[in-house]
Amino acid sequence: MCLIFVLSTLNVNAQRISKNKKAVIASVEKHRSELIDVSDQIWAAAETAFNENTSSKVLADYAEKNGFKVERGVAGMPTAFVASYGSGSPIIGILGEFDALPGLSQNTTPEKSPINTGAPGHGCGHNIFGTASLGAAIAVKELIEQGKLKGTVRFYGTPAEEKFFGKLWMVRAGLFDDLDVCLDWHPSAETKADVQSSLALVDFIVEFNGQAAHASGDPWNGRSASDALELYTTGINYYREHIKPTVRIHYHIQDGGQVVNVVPDYSRLWVRVRDTKREGMLPVYEQVQKMAEGAAIMANVDYKISLVSGIYELLVNRTGGVAMQKNLEYLGPITYTEEENAFGKKIQEATGKPQVGMDSAIRPLEETLEHPGGGSTDVGDVSWIVPTIRLRTTIAPKDTPWHSWAVVACGGMSIGHKGLEQAAKALSMTMTDLFESPKLVEAVKKEFKERKGDTVYKGMVPDGPPPIAQNK
Ligand SMILES: [Zn+2]
């Protein structure tokens, strides 16, 4: 009797999803091979920030083919686009990224093997990110088309996440202002509703200008921009002892002089300051700017600081996270073939990790941590404009080093494709929840208002167009 009771309970649970949710799952399965083809095309194109011409076109064309109205080149960025279907409220958005990372070219093999040494590769899985989100939007669109859901679904093609943070200019253009709720996800080595924040950051360029001279013949005539650069980075590295453990400071020397026999008259660094909250990041940003002036004084050169962009920490929405979690649990973990597990183990072997294979277990909903650590995302800024519900699904074996060749390898083969399918299903199911339940939309908005409090969002981008021309 007991067993029958348990079985019938399981059965009831299994049937508890609505017809609409069953339909979106079926839609993702119906489009599966097309979605994989879209993802693989973006994977092969592997285009970096603001160069995503093929990737953006492949996604926008596929949206158009599926009946969406597509507006290309929005917010002053040729590779940004918005694809909409339906009318009226609710308006539910979903974000998609598609840019690659430089230098990570890689075959779909479990050992490091570039297709084209030095060329870009999808080391963050954004080929899958953009495609799964569009797949989810298409599934929901089909229900609106059939009159089973009412409202508007909108897919955002968001470029340059890995450099410059393209969403900032889309936020500035007001493209998210009329959304009720937005969804977002990220490829990962685990599967969960994502209820953790991300780090706020600011990016800026420091340039030093001195006087060139013969390094040996008349160095007294020279004022060295590379001396200033060295003094500046030395100052930053001393400063590290006196900042909170949550703060991160990074710099990339972009120009330290050209040859050994000239006193360099020009040097340039890209500097980044992060903290778990924007209010922690801002005073460090101020101090690190002062240090540039100090270094310039010591080296007797001029200096210039130019803001690139800055992003907010993510505003978590647990109400939405709970809805996402339920859908993930309904779907259950991804199952892998023996070959896929062996592929995962080989990647783990090659990257010095325990060879445990794939792990797609659905993680329980986590506590939202005050200081989550990890990286940053321009989804942060969107999440201060509109409540944002997030997800992670597995596209690589456990402990895979991120932004590495190993992620590129998995993202172009069946392990990545399975994560794509899982994400598209969970996202479209959660969007269906929102369309079906005005109450859920209200609850998600209520939490958003409470968390945002009286904070007035102030985007951190310089005036003028997005930095497409300055992209080097
Ligand atoms: Zn990413």
Q: State the pLDDT at residue 14.
A: 52
Cα(231) to ligand 1 centroid in Å equals 33
CA-CA-CA-CA dihedral for 317, 99, 191, 409, to nearest 10: -170
Cα(449) to ligand 1 centroid in Å equals 27
Question: 256 to each of 95, 224, 234, 267, how far by Cα in Å?
Answer: 38, 10, 14, 5
The CATH number of the structural domain formed by 2-197+313-452 is 3.40.630.10
Cα(196) to ligand 1 centroid in Å equals 15
Mutual orientation of helices 318-331 and 438-452 as an angle, nearest 10°?
A: 130
Cα(377) to ligand 1 centroid in Å equals 8
Cα(257) to ligand 1 centroid in Å equals 32
Cα(311) to ligand 1 centroid in Å equals 15
Cα(124) to ligand 1 centroid in Å equals 5
What's 356's DSSP letter?
-
Dist. CA 439–CA 184, nearest whole Å: 21
Give residue 407's identity as a one-letter amino acid code: V
Cα(58) to ligand 1 centroid in Å equals 19
- Read off the pTM: 0.94
**How many residues does the structure list for the chain?**
472
Task: Return the residue matching tokens 């972009």.
Answer: 254
Cα(97) to ligand 1 centroid in Å equals 8
Task: Return the residue matching tokens 């909409």.
Answer: 84
- For the segment(s) 200-311, the CATH number from 3.40.50.620, 3.30.70.360, 3.40.190.10, 3.30.1280.10 is 3.30.70.360
Give residue 290's identity as a one-letter amino acid code: K
- CA 158, 89, 31, 10 torsion: positive or negative? positive
Cα(30) to ligand 1 centroid in Å equals 27
Cα(125) to ligand 1 centroid in Å equals 7
Cα(233) to ligand 1 centroid in Å equals 28
CA-CA-CA-CA dihedral for 76, 118, 305, 296, to nearest 10: -170
C-alpha triplet 87, 437, 9: angle, nearest 5°: 140
Cα(78) to ligand 1 centroid in Å equals 20
Q: State the pLDDT at residue 472.
A: 64
Cα(244) to ligand 1 centroid in Å equals 26
- Strands 81-86 and 69-72 come out as antiparallel
Cα(162) to ligand 1 centroid in Å equals 7
Cα(131) to ligand 1 centroid in Å equals 13
Contacts of 274 (CB under 8 A, 6+ apart): 199, 200, 201, 247, 248, 249, 250, 281, 376
Cα(376) to ligand 1 centroid in Å equals 9
Q: Determine contact, residues 317/387, Cβ cutoff 8 Å.
A: yes
What's 412's DSSP letter?
T
For the chain, the distance separating the N- and C-terminal CA atoms, rounded to the nearest angstrom, is: 69
Cα(403) to ligand 1 centroid in Å equals 8
Q: If 0-12 CB within 10 Å is exposed, 13-18 middle and 19+ buried, where does residue 449 land?
A: exposed
Q: Which residues on adjacent β-strands are paired with residue 391?
A: 185, 193
Cα(314) to ligand 1 centroid in Å equals 14
Which tens digit of pLDDT belongs to each residue from 173-206?
999 999 999 999 999 999 999 999 999 999 999 9
Q: State the pLDDT at residue 177.
A: 98
Cα(453) to ligand 1 centroid in Å equals 28
Write down the domain spans for the chain: 2-197+313-452, 200-311
Nearest residue to 419 via CA among 362, 368, 342? 362
Cα(288) to ligand 1 centroid in Å equals 27
Cα(374) to ligand 1 centroid in Å equals 12
Cα(446) to ligand 1 centroid in Å equals 28
Average pLDDT across the chain, whole number: 96
Question: In the chain, which residues have pLDDT < 70?
Answer: 1-15, 472
- CA 326, 327, 331, 333 torsion: positive or negative? negative
Cα(98) to ligand 1 centroid in Å equals 9
Cα(176) to ligand 1 centroid in Å equals 20
